[in-house]
């Protein structure tokens, strides 16, 4: 088939441009086109031949070949060829070999032109989706910025540039209101292929790692690895606790995160629309870490049972409600942050327990660790590790 039937040369040139501009392989497009032309030939000419299509990239010509097996005589005309006729195609043809016999169907140029357009458009779309999918898959665990396109009871849809981001209800901050055209930042939870093959980015503003990533953006020492975020616990929209640590004794991890006059931490609070953030210095000593995790409450003593990962906390009477927090929030977040089960008692409650134990002749453990420098609360699953 001559190149005048379909301007393949121009098509190949366009493919080369696509390869340069969008990274879509020209070979991939050509192979897809050749395969589609085989299908088009069989469909439109109701052929059962074993067919092969090649495209000459230099001349732009399309060639169609019927692949036939060489037999001695009385061949099946569709799949076989006699040895005598095979030698007209290939002088070295032997019995059992296959030869390629060119066929030239009428009006195939029109079919080829339609097929070429369809295939190239389809494959460009598929390749672009794959490229975008890979680009955003690499952003999993990162923060992206998008424009709100749609808001309903179940989800918020963001325009992320090349594709959409979807923020389900559970990934939204309950105290926030989203409006069309709002510019917001969100954390990439996952990248999935939708029903039609288009990539779909699932984003979150409620995930604890959204707070972790905001700290990396705002605190250079964290980004550079001088300060490490050990754990994060969060009630999205209300309060977060972040445990930080530095191996360098000259670096104050808490002070570095808060910043001079609280400027650094305020930027994060502003992004979270007023969510309170407690920055806590992590310690390998569980008693010190647990006491710090209960900030802003003051702690008198901590008794830890390592094997059970259980801690008995004693606080001043006037600090009990603060230590537990509204609806148990402070104690719950501290338990998540430390991954310890926590039981908080006021000083008066502890004394009453001690006296009751003594009256009953029990040997109550008085070795609670003093930390100068409610109810049991389970650590639950640390959301930071989801």
Task: Sketch the domain layout of the chain as residue ranges.
Answer: 3-136, 141-202, 207-282, 294-386
Which pLDDT belongs to residue 376? Answer: 55
Which pLDDT belongs to residue 3? Answer: 44
Question: Which pTM was predicted?
Answer: 0.68
Q: What are residue 313's DSSP bridge partners? A: 302, 344
Q: Does domain 294-386 sit in CATH 1.10.1040.10?
A: no
Fold of 3-136: N Utilization Substance Protein A; Chain:P; domain 4 (3.30.1480)
Angle between helix axes 329-338 and 286-293 (nearest 10 degrees) is: 150
Query: 289, 243 in Cβ contact below 8 A?
Result: yes
pLDDT (tens digit, 0 to 9) for every residue of the chain, 386 residues total? 444 445 666 777 777 887 787 777 778 888 888 888 888 878 877 777 788 888 877 777 788 888 888 888 767 778 888 888 888 888 888 888 888 888 887 777 777 777 777 877 887 777 777 777 887 788 889 999 999 999 998 899 999 887 889 999 999 999 999 999 999 999 999 988 766 667 789 999 999 999 999 999 999 999 999 999 999 999 999 999 999 999 999 999 999 999 988 999 999 999 999 999 999 999 999 999 999 999 999 999 999 999 899 999 999 999 999 999 999 999 999 999 999 999 999 999 888 887 877 777 655 554 554 444 344 566 655 444 43
Pick the CATH number of 207-282 from 3.40.1030.10, 3.30.300.20, 3.40.1010.20, 3.30.365.10: 3.30.300.20
Written as one string, the DSSP assignment of 235-278 is ETTTEEEEEEE-S-TT--HHHHHH-GGGHHHHHHHHHTTT-EEE
Q: How far apart are CA 125 and CA 114, in angstroms?
A: 17
Which pLDDT belongs to residue 40? Answer: 82
Cα distances from 114 to residues 56, 121, 246, in angstroms, run 18, 11, 64
The reply to whether 207-282 and 294-386 are identical in fold is yes
Three-state SS at 259: coil
Angle between helix axes 263-271 and 208-218 (nearest 10 degrees) is: 140
Please choose, from the candidates 207, 195, 193, 205, the residue with its C-alpha nearest in 3D space to the C-alpha of residue 134: 193
CATH class of the 141-202 domain in this structure: mainly beta
């Amino acid at each position: 088939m001559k190149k005048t039937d379909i301007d393949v040369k121009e098509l190949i040139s366009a493919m080369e441009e696509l390869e340069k501009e969008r990274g879509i392989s020209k070979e991939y497009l050509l192979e897809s086109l050749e395969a589609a032309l085989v299908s088009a030939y069989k469909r439109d000419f109701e052929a059962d031949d074993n067919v092969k299509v090649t495209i000459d990239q230099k001349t732009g010509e399309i060639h169609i070949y019927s692949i036939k097996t060489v037999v001695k005589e009385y061949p099946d005309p569709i799949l076989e060829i006699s040895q005598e006729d095979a030698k007209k195609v290939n002088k070295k043809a032997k019995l059992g070999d296959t030869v390629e016999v060119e066929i030239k169907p009428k009006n195939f140029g029109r079919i080829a032109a339609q097929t070429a357009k369809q295939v190239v458009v389809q494959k460009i779309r598929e390749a672009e989706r794959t490229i975008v999918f890979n680009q955003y898959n690499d952003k999993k665990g990162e923060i992206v910025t998008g424009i709100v396109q749609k808001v309903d009871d179940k989800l918020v849809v963001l325009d992320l540039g090349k594709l959409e981001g979807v923020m389900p209800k559970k990934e939204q901050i309950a105290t926030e209101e989203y409006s069309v055209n709002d510019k917001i930042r969100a954390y990439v939870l996952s990248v999935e292929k939708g029903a039609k093959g288009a990539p779909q980015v699932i984003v979150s503003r409620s995930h604890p790692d959204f707070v972790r990533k905001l700290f990396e953006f705002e605190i250079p020492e964290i980004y550079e690895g001088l300060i490490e975020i050990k754990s994060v616990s969060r009630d999205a929209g209300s309060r977060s606790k972040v445990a930080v640590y530095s191996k360098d004794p000259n670096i104050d991890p808490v002070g570095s995160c808060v910043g001079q006059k609280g400027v650094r931490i305020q930027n994060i609070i502003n992004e979270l629309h007023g969510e309170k953030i407690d920055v806590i210095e992590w310690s390998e000593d569980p008693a010190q870490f647990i006491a710090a995790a209960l900030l802003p409450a003051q702690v008198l003593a901590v008794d830890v049972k390592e094997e059970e990962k259980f801690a008995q906390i004693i606080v001043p009477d006037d600090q009990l409600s603060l230590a537990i927090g509204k609806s148990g929030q402070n104690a719950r977040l501290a338990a998540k942050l430390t991954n310890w089960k926590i039981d908080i008692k006021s000083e008066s409650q502890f004394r009453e327990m001690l006296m009751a134990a003594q009256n009953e002749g029990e040997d109550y453990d008085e070795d609670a660790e003093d930390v100068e420098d409610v109810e049991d609360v389970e650590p639950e699953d640390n959301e930071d590790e989801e």
